[in-house]
């Protein structure tokens, strides 16, 4: 799988069942998500994280925020009251179309297509906060590593990245299947047995790799905690990463 495959699959998912694709939950297939209930999950995510950041002595209000992999704006809308501007990027045009339609912010969210393998449309040090949850896991590992480096680049010195990633598979039946079966087989089962509109990959980034990658890019992991339990099949962590200050700051 490469980024072109990801773009194709998430364009299909965004066109056919966008809310369920963003937050896969039992009983929510086929447009069964209530919009208010769905958006409330984003507020819960952001409020949980804001509390963690307060405990770490980090800001929980920002001038400019990047919501990477915004989907239909579930987290963008929750971040908007905490920010001067939220720049919400996604790879799939149908996701962005739905996000604009559902937007109930005060007009401080800007939805942007980013289908490049980098964030080159944004300059160095452009954001106070980079936020990404339930996104990186759906990318191939080389793309994850590259975007992690890009997050540190577009953060201002002293800025914070909040990043959610699965670090290992849980000892459940599905977790074990993901560990032993090739993705071709999983993709076939998702499409032909589970009737997914398009397959969803799941990529694990072990904690030791995350520590190494952040250190290599000038990022200091200042906090980590078990992520909200969106799935029983993965052990996921939420990281607070602070970009190192420049020598003159």
55-103 pLDDT, tens digit each: 999 999 999 999 999 999 999 999 999 999 999 999 999 999 999 999 9
> What mean pLDDT is predicted for residues 5-25?
95
225-236 pLDDT, tens digit each: 998 777 777 789
pTM metric for this prediction: 0.93
Secondary structure string (H, E, C) spanning 40-55: HHHHHHHHHHHHHHHH
Summary mean pLDDT of the chain = 92
Q: How many CB atoms lie within 10 A of CB 115?
A: 15
Under the banding of pLDDT at 50, 70 and 90, the label for residue 38 is very high
pLDDT recorded at residue 187? 85
Percent of the chain at pLDDT > 70 equals 97
Contact indicator for 204, 235 with CB cutoff of 8 Å = no
3-state DSSP helix/strand/coil % of the chain, to nearest 5: 40, 25, 35
**H-helix or E-strand containing 160?**
strand 155-169
Percent of the chain at pLDDT > 90 equals 79
pLDDT recorded at residue 53? 97
Decide if pLDDT at 246 tops 90: no
Q: How many CB atoms lie within 10 A of CB 123?
A: 10
177-198 pLDDT, tens digit each: 777 788 788 888 888 888 889 9
- Chain centroid to CA 173: how far? 25
């Amino acid at each position: 799988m490469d980024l072109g495959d990801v773009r194709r699959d998430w364009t299909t998912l965004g066109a056919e069942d966008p809310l369920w694709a963003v937050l896969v939950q039992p009983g929510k297939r086929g447009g069964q998500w209530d919009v208010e209930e769905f958006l409330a999950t984003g507020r819960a995510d952001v409020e949980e994280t804001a509390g963690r950041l307060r405990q770490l002595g980090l800001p929980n209000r920002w001038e400019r925020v990047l919501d990477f992999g915004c989907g239909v704006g579930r987290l963008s809308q929750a971040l908007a009251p905490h920010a001067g501007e939220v720049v919400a990027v996604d790879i799939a045009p149908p996701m962005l179309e739905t996000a604009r339609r559902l937007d109930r912010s005060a007009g401080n969210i800007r939805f942007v297509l980013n289908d490049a393998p980098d964030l080159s449309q944004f300059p160095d040090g452009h954001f106070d906060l980079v936020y990404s949850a339930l996104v990186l896991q759906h990318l191939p590992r080389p793309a994850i590593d590259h975007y992690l480096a890009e997050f540190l680049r577009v953060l201002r010195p002293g800025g914070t990245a909040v990043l959610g990633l699965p670090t290992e598979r849980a000892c459940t039946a599905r977790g074990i299947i993901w560990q032993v079966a090739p993705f071709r087989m999983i993709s076939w089962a998702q499409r032909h047995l589970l009737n997914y509109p398009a397959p969803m990959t799941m990529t694990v980034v072990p904690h030791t790799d995350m520590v190494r990658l952040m250190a290599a890019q000038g990022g200091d992991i200042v906090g980590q905690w078990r992520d909200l339990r969106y799935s029983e099949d993965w052990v996921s962590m939420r990281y607070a990463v602070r970009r190192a200050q420049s020598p003159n700051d």
